Chains A and B, each alone.
Chain A
Amino acid sequence: MAYYGFDKNRVFMVDFLTDFAFILFNTLRDVLPIILLIIFFQLVVLKQPIPHLKKMILGGIYVILGLALFLMGLEKALFPVGKIMATQLSDPAFIGLVEGEPLNWQSYYWIYIFAALIGFATTIAEPSLIAVALKVTEVSAGTISQKGLRITVALGVAFALALGTFRIVTGTSLFIYILAGYIIVIIQTIFAPKKIIAIAYDSGGVTTSTVTVPLVAALGIGLSSAVPGRNPAIDGFGLIAFASLFPIIAVLGYAQFMSLKIQLLKLKTEKDEI
């Protein structure tokens, strides 16, 4: 028995190491074009040594190693559980759907709650968003907080995924939602403080990368194949589009809310002075 246990552990470790080597190789392959591009420009176009080269190489190694570890851990810990949950929660047996009865969108409430919570949670851990938020805080000299931006974006994604799963269940047209979203963004852009606009637009694109895309894709395909009358090829899409659109609305909305609050405070203090 003891021998068996040892052997099992050993196989477990070997599995882990081969998986890790594979993911590390893939990450390196993704980074290779960037490295080649920068080397080419340094040697051929700019023709000058890179300052702090050693430090940058160390940083590059940290990024590649960190990303590989991160992806590896996600594949072991989060993706299997997340995918199982997405399918289990949309299972007709779990929902209590009776064959032949008309579809009721309210029966799927656990799916909407799950979509919102997992959207929020994965966005908080999204490395691209962390990167942009760090830069925003640095550039704005701390007036836009890293935490505030990330939470606002995550709330936007949470709402987006809840609405996106609702759309898949009801089978309404994706175009209508996107059109409405664009119109809201355009109106908000007119009234929002100028300094937030570029950051808000950017925050739409960074929400959906390493962590969110695989889970969201599983949710969309799982749900659209489980709901009667939906086709995963047509209805499964759209969650990523929602998750790229609603954070823009959330960030613009939050900025508007804050500037309104400041204006109201100003009015109030002026009144008090009189």
Chain B
Amino acid sequence: MRYKSYISGILRKLWAAVKDLIPIIVVVVFFQSVVIRQPFPQIGEVIFGILFVIVGLMLFVEGLEIGLFPVGETMAYALAKKGSLLWLMIFSFLLGFSTTIAEPALIAVAKEASIISSGAGLIENNQKTMDIYAMGLRLSVAFSVGLAIVIGVLRILKGWPLYYLIIGGYILVMLMTTIAPNEIIGLAYDAGGVTTSTITVPLVTALGVGLATVIKGRSPLLDGFGLIAFASLLPIIFVMAYGLLWF
């Protein structure tokens, strides 16, 4: 009896993962058969891959509930109980900084940016300058994400309204766009989107909601969210500032 409910639980979770993937499968099959009208390349690998994606998604969602969310919440409770603002700030900064500095998407984007900038003659066209430029870009984005989590956590503690800060950020982005070099603008706007990885998002969300739950007078729904929003906005500002410093 116990095994039966166990198996039906797994099947239900598998089905949820399958449902999440149906749109992708439909789109790919539609374009391949109706628009491009060419046989599927390596059909065996594709089917194998889809099975991997389904099992992987199911495991990930399961792990979220029993692993990542509890870790984020436990840290939030423990740090709030300790009552040391400094340690909470250090934890927040390191959480943002350390998860971003090694982010593969950011490494790829920084490298691309150094090639574009040297191609446009903005920085010297040698490997050393390009490497320094790319590393500096990564550091400034990682620093900005760390700072973003710190500001976001401070906001939850103090109960500042989120929209003042975000709208202020938008206005700053717009002002900086008018003076930033053209080559860096597209890159800066995109940098906001690539910083928050799949493992950082659940942790940071659980941290915010956890803090808003323990701190008196804060509502998890109104105050708990918003950390990701800062982590997407601040890198835009820092990448443009970085561009302004270099050129």
Binding partners A and B: yes
Task: List residues of chain A with CB under 8 Å of any chain B CB.
Answer: 12, 16, 26, 29-31, 33-34, 36-38, 41, 45-46, 48, 50-52, 55-78, 80-82, 84-85, 88-89, 94, 110, 114, 117-118, 120-122, 124-125, 127-128, 130-132, 134-136, 139-140, 174-175, 178-179, 182, 185-186, 189, 194-195, 197-199, 201-202, 204-210, 213, 233-241, 243-244
Q: A234-B186, A241-B189 in contact; A26/B28 too (CB < 8 A)?
A: no
B30: A residues at CB distance < 8 A: 117
Contact (Cβ within 8 A) A67 B198? yes
B203: A residues at CB distance < 8 A: 34
9 A-B pairs besides A30-B99, A124-B24, A234-B186 with CB distance below 8 A are A33-B98, A33-B101, A34-B99, A59-B64, A69-B53, A71-B56, A89-B31, A198-B222, A213-B194
Q: Can you list the 4 inter-chain pairs with the closest CB atoms, starting with the nearest? A: A59-B67, A77-B49, A66-B59, A73-B52
**The residue from A73, A118, A236 contacting B56, defined by CB atoms under 8 A apart:** A73
Q: How far is the CA of A245 from the CA of B30 in the complex (A)?
A: 28
Nearest CB on B from A34, distance (A): 6
Stretch at the interface among B2-10, B125-133, B167-175: B167-175
**The residue from A76, A80, A198 contacting B52, defined by CB atoms under 8 A apart:** A76
Complex A-B: 24 CB contacts under 8 Å: A36-B98, A37-B95, A38-B75, A45-B87, A46-B82, A63-B199, A65-B63, A66-B58, A66-B61, A72-B52, A75-B49, A76-B52, A81-B28, A85-B36, A89-B31, A114-B35, A125-B57, A128-B202, A130-B57, A132-B201, A195-B222, A198-B222, A198-B229, A213-B105
| B192 at the A interface (CB under 8 A) | yes
Q: A61-B63, A75-B49, A127-B60 in contact; A121/B78 too (CB < 8 A)?
A: no
Task: List residues of chain B with CB under 8 Å of any chain A CB.
Answer: 20-21, 23-24, 26-28, 30-32, 35-36, 40-42, 44-71, 74-75, 78-79, 82, 87, 91, 94-95, 98-99, 101-105, 116, 119-120, 162-163, 166-167, 170, 173-174, 177, 182-183, 185-187, 189-190, 192-203, 205-206, 209, 220-229, 231-232
Q: How far is the CA of A93 from the CA of B162 in the complex (A)?
A: 49
Contact (Cβ within 8 A) B23 A121? yes
Nearest CB on A from B44, distance (A): 8
What is the predominant secondary structure among interface residues of chain A facing chain B?
Answer: helix
Contact (Cβ within 8 A) B74 A50? yes
Contact (Cβ within 8 A) A60 B67? yes
Nearest CB on B from A7, distance (A): 16
B50: A residues at CB distance < 8 A: 73, 77
Contact (Cβ within 8 A) B163 A63? no
Contact (Cβ within 8 A) A182 B170? yes
Contact (Cβ within 8 A) B27 A118? yes
Q: How far is the CA of A55 from the CA of B202 in the complex (A)?
A: 17
Q: How far is the CA of A204 from the CA of B35 in the complex (A)?
A: 31
Contact (Cβ within 8 A) B91 A37? yes
Nearest CB on A from B188, distance (A): 9
A194: B residues at CB distance < 8 A: 222
Contact (Cβ within 8 A) A174 B46? no
A65: B residues at CB distance < 8 A: 56, 59, 63
**Which chain A residue shows the least CB distance to B24?**
A121
**The residue from A61, A114, A206 contacting B201, defined by CB atoms under 8 A apart:** A206
Contact (Cβ within 8 A) A127 B194? no
Highest count of chain A CB atoms <10 Å: which of B24, B51, B74, B98: B24
Contact (Cβ within 8 A) B48 A76? yes
Nearest CB on A from B202, distance (A): 4
Q: How far is the CA of A72 from the CA of B116 in the complex (A)?
A: 30
Contact (Cβ within 8 A) A33 B99? yes
Q: A110-B35, A234-B183 in contact; A30/B201 too (CB < 8 A)?
A: no
Nearest CB on B from A177, distance (A): 10
Contact (Cβ within 8 A) A73 B173? no
Q: How far is the CA of A125 from the CA of B20 in the complex (A)?
A: 5
